[in-house]
Amino acid sequence: MTAIFLNVLAVLTAFVNVHVLPMDSERILWNHTVLVEGDRIVAVGPVDQIPVPSGAVVVDGTDRFLMPGLAEMHGHVPPPSQPAEEIEAVLFLYAANGITTVRGMLGWPGQLALRDAANSGSLLSPTLYLAGPSFSGQTVSSPKQARERVRQQVEEGWNLLKVHPGMSRESYDAMAETAHALGIRFGGHVPADVGLEHALEMGQETFDHVDGFVEHLGAGQPIDWIQMSDIVARTRQAGAWIVPTGVLWETLLGVVSLESLMSFPELAYVSRQTVASWERAHRSRLVNVDPNAVQTALNRMQIVKALSDGGVPILMGTDAPQQFSVPGFSLHREMKWMVDAGMTPYDVLRSGTSAVGRYFSNEDQFGNVAVGHRADLLMLDANPFESISHVADRVGVMVRGRWLPESEIQSRLDALASRYAAPQE
């Protein structure tokens, strides 16, 4: 049993008689009570040892499972120039699917005010950690410009730097050296002029989309497993993290049929104009599919499995919203892809919970069901250790201490679907 002193005057939420997946290991705490005060977990213990304070909001957890909220570690948040209702819809879709943390990987001017509103609780949203406007061949043309851009983004208060393709090796090195000196992390793509091995040497922290690995190992040919073993060891030694975004890249490779993509029920929560643009893009893509696309898709799965087995931490991410990757819903498809790649359900769930908490340990305490952790929780009707599909069997979501029962989530989803189904003016 773990507990801390409670302020009995504060509003409390009590999850009673629930089976807890603390995500500190592959274990279940049967028939427990979890108390939440404000945005923090304040007690976790057997139901007969944790009294429920008078006045607490009680959530019956009988025969249900409580785990930490999930994270989208390569997500996108619309720019401030978009209508407020569109921004709020994207943030809600994340939360509705149990995503309580989003690492936004393409910042926009003015977006830090949105982060502050989301993280203060004045907006229904996951907690946001945002990369600044990207470093790419279009935005950085010299080492001097790279250094200035790092300093500017540190002064503005972004959480990390986003790397896109196109930078020269000299500009990349200037960015990396300045970032290390100023204490800001960076991740994303691997510019072709830089290459995977040099990016690891320079301390790039996350490699999103398995970028650099596919090219290093050969995209269109069977993997050389000796070479694979070597790069796995180098990645682990460098302390790097991997964000796979596997499902989206199968779409971009053209190995998924348009009929399958258009059958996704979650398209109801996206505007018809957006779906039409995705359909046009995929029709065009299918005209010129790389003949090695199937092999490349297989390689991506094998790379992620080898990295995971080799002790390289995996972070859950889908690159939503784009290209049939609908915020929140895309995570369920990604988790299945990760299991299909050979990861266990526990390993997959860890990549979206406790691993994310470790990655952001300098920002806050979250990612486990434990005292002192941020009250980001997901209650399910079935055990997700048995099948990753059970993550979709929601009873409700708690976002920074705000409880959203499934009835409220469905009501909001229905309203969003009705809005997008109506003829657009």
Q: Which residues of 111-128 are buried (b: 16+ CB within 10 A; e: fewer)?
A: bbebbeebbeeebbbbbb
Q: What is the mean pLDDT of the chain?
A: 95
Residue 124 has pLDDT above 60, yes or no: yes
In this predicted structure, what is the pLDDT of residue 424?
62
Residue 2 has pLDDT above 80, yes or no: no
Is the distance from CB of 213 to CB of 232 less than 8 angstroms? Answer: no
Assess if residue 8 is contained within a domain: yes
Strand partners, 47: none
Q: Rounded to two decimals, what is the model's pTM?
A: 0.96
393 and 259 in one domain?
no
89 and 6 in one domain?
no
In this predicted structure, what is the pLDDT of residue 3?
41
Q: Are strands 57-60 and 12-20 parallel, antiparallel or unpaired?
A: parallel
111 and 38 in one domain?
no
46 and 77 in one domain?
no
The pLDDT tens digits of the residues spanning 300-344 come to 999 999 999 999 999 999 999 999 999 999 999 999 999 999 999
249 and 395 in one domain?
no
The domain boundary residue, chosen from 359, 382, 414: 359
9 and 19 in one domain?
yes
Assess if residue 195 is contained within a domain: no
Question: Stretch 35-47: mean pLDDT, rounded?
Answer: 97
- Show the domain range for 43: 2-68+369-405
19 and 123 in one domain?
no
Assess if residue 170 is contained within a domain: no
Assess if residue 152 is contained within a domain: no
In this predicted structure, what is the pLDDT of residue 267?
98
231, 235, 241, 245 alpha-carbon torsion, rounded to 10°: -10
Percentage, residues of the chain above pLDDT 70: 97
The domain boundary residue, chosen from 321, 337, 359: 359
Q: Number of folded domains in the chain?
A: 2
Whole-angstrom Cα distance, residue 285 to residue 12?
52
84 and 58 in one domain?
no
CA distances from 203 to 148, 173, 217, 241, 278 (A): 19, 10, 20, 11, 35
Question: Stretch 146-158: mean pLDDT, rounded?
Answer: 98
CA distances from 124 to 42, 89, 91, 115 (A): 22, 10, 7, 11
Residue 241 has pLDDT above 70, yes or no: yes
Assess if residue 328 is contained within a domain: yes
Q: Which of 4-13, 154-163, 322-331, 337-346 has the lowest mean pLDDT?
A: 4-13
In this predicted structure, what is the pLDDT of residue 422?
80
CATH number at residue 59: 2.30.40.10
Question: Stretch 348-375: mean pLDDT, rounded?
Answer: 98
Which position has the higher pLDDT, 117 or 8?
A: 117
Q: What's the first-to-final CA gap in the chain, in angstroms? A: 57
DSSP three-state, residue 215: helix
The pLDDT tens digits of the residues spanning 48-59 come to 999 999 999 999
Whole-angstrom Cα distance, residue 65 to residue 48?
18
CATH number at residue 271: 3.20.20
Structure tokens at 418: 């009705």
307 and 232 in one domain?
yes
101 and 232 in one domain?
yes
Q: 191: cis peptide before it, omega within 30°?
A: no
58 and 89 in one domain?
no
64 and 75 in one domain?
no
Residue 17 has pLDDT above 80, yes or no: yes
Question: Stretch 250-273: mean pLDDT, rounded?
Answer: 97
Question: Stretch 127-138: mean pLDDT, rounded?
Answer: 98
Residue 10 has pLDDT above 60, yes or no: no
Alpha helices in 53-187 (DSSP H): 84-96, 111-120, 143-156, 169-182
Q: Are strands 394-399 and 402-405 parallel, antiparallel or unpaired?
A: antiparallel
The pLDDT tens digits of the residues spanning 169-228 come to 999 999 999 999 999 999 999 999 999 999 999 999 999 999 999 999 987 889 999 999
Residue 35 has pLDDT above 60, yes or no: yes
